[in-house]
Amino acid sequence: MLLKRHEWLDLARKLDWQYSYVAERDVFPEAMSGRPWLEHAEWSDWDEPYRTSYAEYVATQHEKEAAVHAVRDAVGRVADFERHDRAWLSALKLHAATLPLAEFAAVVGNLRAARFGRDGAWRTMATLGALDELRHTQIPLTVLHDLVAWDPQFDWTHRLFHTNEWVAIAARHFADELLLLSNPVEFAVATHFVFETGFTNLQFVALSAVAHAVGDRMFEKMVQSIQTDEARHAQIGGAVVKKVCEHDRAYAQYLVDKWFWRSWHFFAVVTGFAMDYLTPLTHRKSSFREFMQEWVLEQFERTLRDYGLERPWYWDEFERSLGYYHHQVYASAYSYRATVWFDLPLPSPAERAWLAEKYPESWADFAPIWERVSDRWRASGPGIEWYTHGVTPVGFCSLCQLVLSAGTPRKNSACVRDHGGRRYIFCSAPCAWIFEHEPERYAAHHTVVDRILAGEAPANLIALVRDYFGLDEATWGKDSSRGRYPWLAPAVGSAK
């Protein structure tokens, strides 16, 4: 007689046993499994709500794949992408280059948990998570591959993580630690609980709604399909956080504080640029900050409370930075656009008015930057990229490896710390705090400027971009309209 599902399911998904000839500590050493190290009996009530079997997983994933490929067949050709606004294509290039290979690193993080996670159900879920992340690598690589012949910037979908371009250095610094280096406990708190529960909704649900408004059904379908997997395997996070909180709440709080700040910087660039600068104005509904408030602040704060955790200690600074950080980094990226692999639009007066309305307390600090850039475009005329471009390399944070942009145009928040005979510079107090807690993880790393000073990378910006970042004239970022904006009339009295 066949067993019913509920009769066999736990035997299949939650299989643990007593070790007779080895010690449990040798099967799951703390260095590989993480801390707090507890006897398995302590983990035996570990559970998550999806309770999926492998057979069910395969059937469901097959349906999801078929649905993505049906959309690709219908609206995934070059001709479909040619119709999109150029600025929106940059949002796609930014997403496509930063996410898929990070997802591939997440395969490794999940596989470590599939071996060293402390309960059978956890290991089963992590095995499915690894398969999920492989799919999240393959879908965008497949969908965007055909676009490479049309627009070489799409080649960076696969290329970015293999270069020393500055966003790549920052993304690797973050993703390598988060996804390749962390033990299963830190991986669960950092990736599943903070990154996937706290933040990915922003890029995969909120930005998917924006893609819908823009008319990009391919992007909408792709990220929605990915998010259904994230929603399942992210459940590992809460189940692990609960146990860590029972035994070492301070450690759980430390991991949350560390990874929330690091994730915030990552999403401020990827999602912040896309929502506030790269989405055509007519399709914008909410600002990046409004999305952050709805999708991250309210929901994540509630989740933290449910586990008896506090908001990170730098919460006031974080809330202030919602009005500044991505604006500062965008202004830097525009001013150094040849250092990235996608084009950036100059915000029009109408877009600036929208930003002023959405960021009433901070936009007055940024408006003069764009007026000055506009004046320089008027003076040079269209097509002269370098007249509105920075020429000397800028400073980078020794922790997040992003440009030193965490302050405001009026207040510099960069700070220095000495460690092991070397001086380090940080964009913000939380980045310095993370470094000081685990200097052995970070001290040996070199920022772009460290590499220039050591003679490993050229100081001349064009040589740096070409020879070290791996960009060339066909791929480096330019103004999305090459300075040809209808509103950018030549200055009165100009000969042009």
Collapsing DSSP to helix, strand or coil, 479 comes out as strand
Write the CA distances from 50 to 53, 121, 223, 287, integer angstroms: 9, 11, 20, 33
Query: Tokens standing for 230?
Result: 């994230």
Of 117 and 347, nearer to Mn ion (C-beta) is 117
What minimum distance in Å lies between the beta carbon of 75 and Mn ion? Answer: 23
Of 13 and 136, nearer to Mn ion (C-beta) is 136
Counted residue by residue, the chain has a size of 496
What minimum distance in Å lies between the beta carbon of 240 and Mn ion? Answer: 14
Of 230 and 276, nearer to Mn ion (C-beta) is 230
What minimum distance in Å lies between the beta carbon of 14 and Mn ion? Answer: 21
- Which region among 12-20, 50-58, 95-103, 431-439 touches Mn ion (by CB under 5 A)? 95-103
Of 186 and 351, nearer to Mn ion (C-beta) is 186
- Which region among 97-105, 151-159, 270-278, 301-309 touches Mn ion (by CB under 5 A)? 97-105
- Which region among 126-134, 174-182, 283-291, 309-317 touches Mn ion (by CB under 5 A)? 126-134
- Write out the DSSP string of 384-445: -GGGGS--SPPPB-TTT-SBS-SS-SS----EEEEETTEEEEESSHHHHHHHHH-HHHHTT-
Of 53 and 138, nearer to Mn ion (C-beta) is 138
Write the CA distances from 49 to 156, 202, 429, 434, integer angstroms: 38, 23, 38, 33
- Which region among 23-31, 102-110, 138-146, 282-290 touches Mn ion (by CB under 5 A)? 102-110
Of 48 and 133, nearer to Mn ion (C-beta) is 133
Of 190 and 373, nearer to Mn ion (C-beta) is 190
Told to check if 385 binds Mn ion by CB under 5 A, we report no
Which residue in 297, 273, 298, 300 sits closest to 284, CA to CA?
273
Told to check if 135 binds Mn ion by CB under 5 A, we report no
What minimum distance in Å lies between the beta carbon of 293 and Mn ion? Answer: 23
What minimum distance in Å lies between the beta carbon of 315 and Mn ion? Answer: 25
Cα torsion through 154, 157, 159, 161, rounded to 10: 150
Told to check if 136 binds Mn ion by CB under 5 A, we report yes
- What span, in angstroms and rounded, lies between the C-alpha atoms of 280 and 87? 7
What minimum distance in Å lies between the beta carbon of 45 and Mn ion? Answer: 24
Contact 283, 213 (CB under 8 A): yes
Collapsing DSSP to helix, strand or coil, 344 comes out as strand
Contact 425, 407 (CB under 8 A): no
What minimum distance in Å lies between the beta carbon of 135 and Mn ion? Answer: 8
- Which region among 130-138, 145-153, 237-245, 289-297 touches Mn ion (by CB under 5 A)? 130-138
Of 131 and 292, nearer to Mn ion (C-beta) is 131
- What span, in angstroms and rounded, lies between the C-alpha atoms of 431 and 389? 28
- 222 pairs with which residues across the strands? none
What minimum distance in Å lies between the beta carbon of 191 and Mn ion? Answer: 7
Contact 330, 373 (CB under 8 A): no
What minimum distance in Å lies between the beta carbon of 207 and Mn ion? Answer: 14
- Which region among 132-140, 163-171, 215-223, 368-376 touches Mn ion (by CB under 5 A)? 132-140
Collapsing DSSP to helix, strand or coil, 473 comes out as coil
- Which region among 27-35, 98-106, 324-332, 385-393 touches Mn ion (by CB under 5 A)? 98-106
**Cβ-proximal residue to Mn ion, closest one:** 136
Contact 374, 346 (CB under 8 A): yes
Of 133 and 177, nearer to Mn ion (C-beta) is 133
**All residues at 6 or more sequence positions from 316 whose CB lies less than 8 Å from its CB, including other chains:** none
What minimum distance in Å lies between the beta carbon of 106 and Mn ion? Answer: 5
Of 300 and 366, nearer to Mn ion (C-beta) is 300
Among 48, 103, 165, 220, binds Mn ion (CB under 5 A): 103
What minimum distance in Å lies between the beta carbon of 431 and Mn ion? Answer: 24
Hey, which residues between 218 and 237 contact Mn ion (CB under 5 A)? 230
Contact 275, 359 (CB under 8 A): no
Which residue in 210, 199, 310 sits closest to 252, CA to CA?
310
- What span, in angstroms and rounded, lies between the C-alpha atoms of 363 and 353? 9
- The conformation of residue 49, written as its DSSP 8-state character, comes to S
Site residue total, Mn ion (CB under 5 A):
4
- Give the x/- contact pattern for Mn ion in 242-281, rule: CB under 5 A: ----------------------------------------
- Which region among 96-104, 157-165, 421-429, 486-494 touches Mn ion (by CB under 5 A)? 96-104
What minimum distance in Å lies between the beta carbon of 399 and Mn ion? Answer: 23
- What span, in angstroms and rounded, lies between the C-alpha atoms of 462 and 50? 52
What minimum distance in Å lies between the beta carbon of 139 and Mn ion? Answer: 10
Write the CA distances from 36 to 16, 47, 185, 436, integer angstroms: 19, 18, 8, 21
Interface residues with Mn ion (CB under 5 A)? 103, 133, 136, 230
